[in-house]
Structure 1
Amino acid sequence: MFLATGLAVIRRAGWIALLALTLAACASGPELTEGDAEHTAAPTATPAEPAPEPMPAETMPAEPAAPEPEFHPAAPERYVVREGDTLWSIANTFLRDPWHWPEIWLANPQIPNPHLIYPGDVLSIHHVDGELRVMVDGGPRVLPVERLSPRIRVEALDDVETLPISTLQPFMFRPRVVDEATLEQAPYIVAAHDERVIYGPGDRVYLRHAPDAERYDLYHVVRRDRALTDPDTGEELGIATLPIAEAEIVRGGEIATALLRTGDREAIRGDRLLPFDDEPDLLFDIGRPPADLEGTVILLFDAISQIGSLQAAVINRGKRDGVRNGQVFATWEAGRTARDPISRNRNELIELPEEEIGTMMVFRTFDKVAYALVLHSTHPIREGYKVRHP
């Protein structure tokens, strides 16, 4: 879940795993009464039969112990939340593995909305029952108190790289994947008010095949990018489009008139118009994809051969595969081939192993594909690279 001003930290109940309970039972034989003891015969000297050997009990493999949260050695004792911080960047400040943030978060019942973090809040590390926890214990929402604790050192930290939620806004509503029939039947630009061949915001353009368009209707202007195909099965996954502009209908009719509003690039004749879809929710939970899910980068958004941090890509997995907004995938670089310098066969090539090079987060999901934003990457990401459970 990303943090903006007043953004919810996390729904802790969704992160905590259930603990397994084991039950032990014991049984005892029936007790003899005093009357029964008097009538009990003395034991005879018959040889005792050997007791049957116990059957070996089936043993279940022990569940692997869940890893414990591990703090950074240089984690600050106090951290002041700033505008533009995200939950992911704050968790990275304190923990080696940010996924353990729900396990160390401690709500302060003495402040309003203890499960929310605001700019100006002071996050501090506390010892609770012998374990380290982080909570809000300073800032404008907390009454001033004198906190007595030993201090080892005080040093300034370099600015932590953050991912403000505004970074997502250029991507959140514009990427569209449609089927071939929908794109072919969509209205398209045939000309403009003058004889120019490219158009921008403020220009009036004429549309054809828009019989249902009425005044004030809003449309996305898009351009066909590429047909998407699953590299594993050959299935056609849809048509990816490039966002061009927004258009508002000013006059309907057989040849409708539209006014171009904000735009990402120049519009041209033949660009299609798709109706506005529901505005996506900018606030979603950060999570992991299904454990056994693997996908492939099949398209680089608005790029030629490679992308890096804060750029987008399309993967060949979507809603039908269990992909949801907010899921974070690990990105794996395909292993290249190298020539063995020692082998007797000078032309022998060996395939090098894959390498994990970054992470990307899904922000727009369709039925068969999804768009993901690269959160960080140590090497350029290209088509054909794999994405997996981190």
Structure 2
Amino acid sequence: MRKTIISLLFALSGAAGIAHADTLAIQDNAPDRYVVVKGDTLWGISGHFLKQPWRWPEIWNMNRDQIKNPHWIYPGDVVVLDRSGATPRLKLLKNERAGANGEVKLSPSVRVSDLDNNAVPSIPLASIQPFLNKPLVVEEGELLTAPRIAAGPDDRVVFASGDKIYAVNMPNAKVGEIYQAYRPSQPLYDPKDPEHKRVIGHEVTYLGDVSVEKPGAVVTLRVQASKEELGIGARLVKASDAEYLNYAPHAPDHDVKGLVVSAYGSVAEAGPMTTLVVNLGSADGLDVGTVLATWKAGRPIKKESKSEPDLFTPPERSGSVFVYRVFPHFSYGLLLDSTEPVNVADEVTNP
């Protein structure tokens, strides 16, 4: 198959659902071409050319249905920046069978499968794989009604792989279903609460998987795999079948403002490739692929006299968050392009 060239309009207006009033800005040191290699991400490739790499879907004039699973760049492809015209254009050189006119029209389509073969992902999958179907945060109130491990076949209080256990609060359990066991760790407090007392959720520790053997008022289960010991009182949640769809980045449909509630591992200062929990979710209009900006709060200006007003330095943008898992009131997001550490209570807004 011979090389074909696909031209991409670089500055578009009116892209359905993702249009912006300003023009896409090219990096000052953008290369003339870039060869895609294994391990690249769409975010990283775009960063070579765009000052705002999350805006690459606009190059394709893609609508919200089309920006799901954009499997269209592979290692070996060459991205070329064409500066010859009035409007800069990108060209993608691909090994594809050309049409009669020698060109191929590339139309990213929606797919419902996992990332195929060697297609370049939006963001590093290795950084988010542990969080795609494991519980990380549960909302306040869920713990009280969640199914729980209540007993074992003997007087033991901890269990491991292969053990038979019993659970309650599982009226809809079915034979063969898989549940994930977890235990609550530290509570998450509302960053807006000055007294730091209002709990809005709980970080949880994933313990292992169990399967249903016999439903009933007391359900019989079998421990299939254990990362840590499962104990009496551990909570259960039905394993999610949801897989990560390689969504393209996009801004929220409307103005949003939230806060960083937690950083994975309870780190004090989060850096690049850290999973953050923000207090915005599907109820706020977020979905997979939403990009948020993180901001450092302004610092107080030191006064020379008590009569001076309270003044603060302007807020400074510190990074971008790519949302990859969404719940009603929380979302997990991967911190990208951070220029300084991100802390709990830092603000997140539209990029």
Give the TM-score normalised by structure 1.
Answer: 0.65
1:358-380 per-residue CA deviation (whole Å, 9 max, x = no partner) reads 11111222222222221232333
1:85-164 equivalences under 5 Å are 85-102=40-57, 116-127=72-83, 129-137=85-93, 140-141=95-96, 163-164=123-124
The alpha carbon displacement at 1:69 in A equals 3.1
Give the structure 1 partner of residue 166 of structure 2.
206
Structure 1 pair 267–339 and aligned structure 2 pair: CA distance change class (3 A):
farther
The alpha carbon displacement at 1:118 in A equals 1.6
- Structure 2 distance, partners of 1:308, 1:204, is 42
The answer (yes or no) to whether the contact 2:183–2:206 under 8 Å persists in 1 is: yes
Determine whether 1:70 maps to 2:26: yes
Q: Aligned residues, how many? A: 305
Structure 1 pair 210–86 and aligned structure 2 pair: CA distance change class (3 A):
same
Structure 1 pair 216–312 and aligned structure 2 pair: CA distance change class (3 A):
same
- Picking from 256, 263, 288, the partner of 1:293 is 256
Determine whether 1:370 maps to 2:326: no
SS at match of 2:40: coil
The answer (yes or no) to whether the contact 2:36–2:79 under 8 Å persists in 1 is: yes
Work out which of the two has the higher radius of gyration on C-alpha atoms and give 1 or 2.
Answer: 1
Give the structure 2 partner of residue 359 of structure 1.
320
Which stretch of the first structure deviates more once superposed, 203-212 or 368-377?
A: 203-212
Give the structure 1 partner of residue 128 of structure 2.
168
- Picking from 11, 15, 18, the partner of 2:14 is 18
1:324-351 per-residue CA deviation (whole Å, 9 max, x = no partner) reads 21111111112334644xx256999864
Aligned residues: CA RMSD: 3.9
- Picking from 337, 340, 344, the partner of 1:379 is 340
The answer (yes or no) to whether the contact 2:140–2:200 under 8 Å persists in 1 is: no
The alpha carbon displacement at 1:204 in A equals 4.0
SS at match of 1:364: strand
The answer (yes or no) to whether the contact 1:336–1:352 under 8 Å persists in 2 is: yes
SS at match of 1:166: helix
1:7-62 per-residue CA deviation (whole Å, 9 max, x = no partner) reads xxxxx99x94339xxxxxxxxxxxxxxxxxxxxxxxxxxxxxxxxxxxxxxxxxxx
- Structure 1 distance, partners of 2:157, 2:336, is 38
The answer (yes or no) to whether the contact 1:105–1:133 under 8 Å persists in 2 is: no
Give the structure 1 partner of residue 296 of structure 2.
333
SS at match of 1:168: helix
Task: Give the number of the structure with larger relative contact order, counting CA–CA contacts within 8 Å between residues 6 or more apart.
Answer: 2
Determine whether 1:245 maps to 2:245: no
Determine whether 1:223 maps to 2:183: yes
SS at match of 1:169: helix
The alpha carbon displacement at 1:90 in A equals 0.6
Give the TM-score normalised by structure 2.
Answer: 0.71
Give the structure 2 partner of residue 83 of structure 1.
38
Give the structure 2 partner of residue 154 of structure 1.
none
Amino acid corresponding to residue 284 of structure 1 in structure 2: Y
Give the structure 2 partner of residue 273 of structure 1.
236
1:208-262 per-residue CA deviation (whole Å, 9 max, x = no partner) reads 3445434311112122343664727999755554433222123445543433344
SS at match of 1:91: helix
Give the structure 2 partner of residue 317 of structure 1.
280
The alpha carbon displacement at 1:91 in A equals 0.5
- Picking from 172, 183, 188, the partner of 2:143 is 183
1:121-163 per-residue CA deviation (whole Å, 9 max, x = no partner) reads 122223463333222225x4378xxxxxxxxxxxxxxxxxx94
SS at match of 1:296: strand
The alpha carbon displacement at 1:387 in A equals 0.5
